[in-house]
């Protein structure tokens, strides 16, 4: 276990105490965020030469899972902050180091829901509205996807594709729009953010899809979309692990009405726990094994293939679905205990089924691996 992973595990009791508060307020505990930030965890994917930690994908997965066990919303915000920080590798060091190597925390929305137009000054004028800005209430940096505009129309590059960029804005240039009223992951505060005619230097526009990062090293050969997918699956693994532990705790104490035996002594409960455990352990082994295999290849060869990219997406999607099944088993085995808001099982059930809706791990992503296996073309932006 790494020093950083140990530090996050040690903070687990503190994070658990604050989890329900964040769920009620729709904002993850600032105390928890500050404690987590002090470990350096939000800098896991920032280049070391920029002041970050530059850790391997499998270590990133383990740390996000550990935090998510204690507080799924905090783990989700960590996942978003970590993967947003990855984009610093596409900035020149003189911009990336001050923005991402210090105390600032980032959130990002990769979807190109806004527009950016170059001004005569060379700056970019940005406007738009972006949904699902997880962690926007505590982050100081926003990374937002935009369509580049020219003469009032989407700009088209030499490859014939519409030009997409991700612009780095300061939080003060954006407005948080209260939209996050959801079934689960309430504490993530994933509200909309809006921007009206903000200007940013041209150098803060990142083209990370289809262009090489400025930072060197195997980590930045690894596909950003693959890392985001692994991060989402790590959150679901943390939720599933905690749900299993909670059901075991309940089952050892609870006797159903009129029964002489505890739930733990019943074969149906034992069956559910066994199946859920197999789902979780299988998911974890698949994700970590795939991440380590492809990272080793990136380290050795400095490049990976579309098959490798599809394998990452497949492992993450499978893990998310397997973990959702594990949580469902625990929720059902808990009986009426799990329907009350005071029950952690109730929150785990809600949270896992919001996580499964993320585009990176939604069931249609199975088709990416299927198309490649069948020799069919695949959109590069999905890999």
Task: Report pLDDT digits (tens) over 298-348.
Answer: 999 988 999 999 999 999 999 999 999 999 999 999 999 999 988 999 999
Q: What pLDDT digit, counting tens, does each position of 77-133 carry?
A: 999 999 999 999 999 999 999 999 988 999 999 999 999 999 989 899 999 999 999
Q: Decide which of 153, 179, 206 is a domain's last residue.
A: 206
On whether both 110 and 94 belong to a single domain, the answer is no
Longest dimension (CA), the chain: 80
On whether both 110 and 201 belong to a single domain, the answer is yes
Residue written as token pair 């795939």: 290
The pLDDT of residue 379 is: 81
Q: Of 44, 52, 48, 37, which is closest to residue 2 (Cα–Cα)?
A: 44
Torsion angle, alpha carbons of 57, 61, 66, 71, to 10: 120
Tokens standing for 73? 């919303």
The pLDDT of residue 210 is: 80
Q: What pLDDT digit, counting tens, does each position of 33-46 carry?
A: 999 999 999 999 99
Secondary structure of the chain: what % helix, strand, coil (to 5)? 55, 15, 30
Asked if residue 141 belongs to a domain, the reply is yes
The CA–CA distances, whole Å, from 92 to 29, 48, 382 equal: 33, 13, 26
| DSSP bridge partners of 141 | 106, 170
The pLDDT of residue 255 is: 84
Q: What pLDDT digit, counting tens, does each position of 47-88 carry?
A: 999 999 999 999 999 999 999 999 999 999 999 999 999 999
On whether both 253 and 302 belong to a single domain, the answer is yes
On whether both 267 and 365 belong to a single domain, the answer is yes
Asked if residue 212 belongs to a domain, the reply is no
Asked if residue 59 belongs to a domain, the reply is yes
Asked if residue 26 belongs to a domain, the reply is yes
Q: Which residue range is the domain that position 202 belongs to?
A: 106-206
The pLDDT of residue 189 is: 97
Tokens standing for 40? 């350096």
* C-alpha–C-alpha distance, residues 237 and 241, integer Å: 6
Band of pLDDT at residue 381, cut at 50, 70 and 90: confident
Q: Of 165, 175, 118, 173, which is closest to residue 144 (Cα–Cα)?
A: 165
CATH number of the domain encompassing residue 191:
2.40.110.10
The pLDDT of residue 141 is: 96
Whether 1 shows a pLDDT value over 90: the answer reads no
Residue written as token pair 């990002």: 108
Q: Show the CA angle centred on residue 229, arms to residues 225 and 230, nearest 5°.
A: 120
Q: Decide which of 141, 173, 206 is a domain's last residue.
A: 206
CATH number of the domain encompassing residue 41:
1.10.540.10
Half-sphere exposure in the Cβ direction for 255 (13 Å, CA) = 6
On whether both 50 and 131 belong to a single domain, the answer is no
Higher pLDDT, 152 or 294: 294
On whether both 226 and 308 belong to a single domain, the answer is yes
Give the total number of structural domains in the chain. 3
Arithmetic mean of pLDDT over the chain: 94
Asked if residue 120 belongs to a domain, the reply is yes
On whether both 230 and 180 belong to a single domain, the answer is no
* C-alpha–C-alpha distance, residues 102 and 225, integer Å: 24
Asked if residue 312 belongs to a domain, the reply is yes
Reported in sequence order, the residue ranges of the chain that DSSP labels E, i.e. its strands, are 106-118, 124-130, 141-150, 153-154, 164-170, 175-177, 192-200, 205-206
The pLDDT of residue 249 is: 96
The pLDDT of residue 159 is: 82
On whether both 155 and 251 belong to a single domain, the answer is no
Q: Are residues 170 and 153 in contact, defined by beta-carbon separation less than 8 angstroms?
A: no
Whether 225 shows a pLDDT value over 80: the answer reads yes
The pLDDT of residue 259 is: 75
CATH number of the domain encompassing residue 236:
1.20.140.10
Residue written as token pair 């991060």: 231
Q: Highest mean pLDDT range out of 128-142, 196-210, 330-344?
A: 128-142
Q: Decide which of 42, 69, 99 is a domain's last residue.
A: 99
Asked if residue 214 belongs to a domain, the reply is no
Percent of the chain with pLDDT over 90: 87
On whether both 230 and 378 belong to a single domain, the answer is yes
Average of per-residue pLDDT across 168-194:
97
On whether both 256 and 366 belong to a single domain, the answer is yes
The pLDDT of residue 303 is: 87
Residue written as token pair 């009986």: 335
Output b/e per residue, 132-151; b: 16+ Cβ within 10 A: bbbbbbbbebbbbbbbbbee
Residue written as token pair 């296996």: 373
The pLDDT of residue 195 is: 98
Average of per-residue pLDDT across 9-25:
94
On whether both 342 and 377 belong to a single domain, the answer is yes
Asked if residue 215 belongs to a domain, the reply is no
Whether 243 shows a pLDDT value over 90: the answer reads yes
On whether both 86 and 151 belong to a single domain, the answer is no
């Amino acid at each position: 276990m790494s020093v950083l992973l140990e530090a996050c595990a040690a903070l687990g009791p503190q994070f658990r105490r604050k989890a329900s508060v964040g769920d009620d307020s729709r904002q993850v505990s600032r105390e928890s965020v500050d404690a987590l930030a002090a470990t350096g965890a939000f800098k896991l994917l920032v280049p070391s030469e920029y002041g970050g930690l530059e850790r391997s994908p499998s270590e990133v997965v383990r740390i996000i899972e550990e935090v998510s066990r204690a507080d799924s919303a905090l783990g989700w915000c960590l996942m978003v902050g970590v993967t947003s920080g990855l984009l610093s590798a596409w900035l020149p060091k003189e911009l990336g180091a001050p923005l991402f190597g210090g105390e600032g925390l980032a959130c990002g929305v990769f979807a190109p829901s806004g527009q950016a137009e170059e001004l005569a000054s060379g700056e970019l004028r940005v406007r738009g509205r972006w949904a699902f800005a997880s962690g926007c209430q505590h982050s100081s940096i926003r990374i937002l996807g935009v369509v580049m505009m020219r003469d009032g129309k989407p700009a088209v590059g030499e490859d014939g594709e519409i030009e997409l960029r991700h612009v780095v804005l300061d939080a003060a240039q954006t407005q948080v729009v209260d939209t996050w009223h959801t079934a689960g992951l309430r504490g993530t505060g994933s509200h909309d953010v809006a921007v009206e005619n903000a200007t940013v230097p041209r150098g803060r526009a990142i083209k990370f899809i289809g262009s090489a990062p400025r930072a060197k090293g195997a980590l930045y050969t690894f596909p950003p979309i693959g890392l985001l997918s692994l991060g989402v699956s790590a959150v679901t693994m943390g939720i599933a692990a905690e749900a299993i532990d909670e059901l075991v705790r309940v089952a050892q104490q609870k006797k159903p009405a009129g029964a002489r035996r505890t739930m733990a002594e019943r074969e149906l409960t034992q069956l559910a726990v066994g199946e859920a455990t197999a789902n979780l352990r299988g998911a974890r082994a698949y994700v970590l094994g795939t991440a380590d295999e492809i990272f080793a290849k990136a380290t050795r060869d400095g490049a990976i293939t579309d098959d490798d990219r599809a394998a990452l997406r497949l492992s993450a999607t499978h893990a998310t679905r397997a973990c959702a099944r594990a949580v469902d088993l625990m929720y059902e085995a808990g009986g009426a205990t799990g329907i009350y808001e005071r029950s952690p099982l109730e929150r785990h059930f809600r949270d896992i089924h919001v996580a499964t809706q993320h585009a990176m791990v939604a069931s249609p992503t199975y088709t990416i691996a299927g198309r490649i296996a069948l020799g069919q073309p695949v959109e590069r932006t999905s890999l």
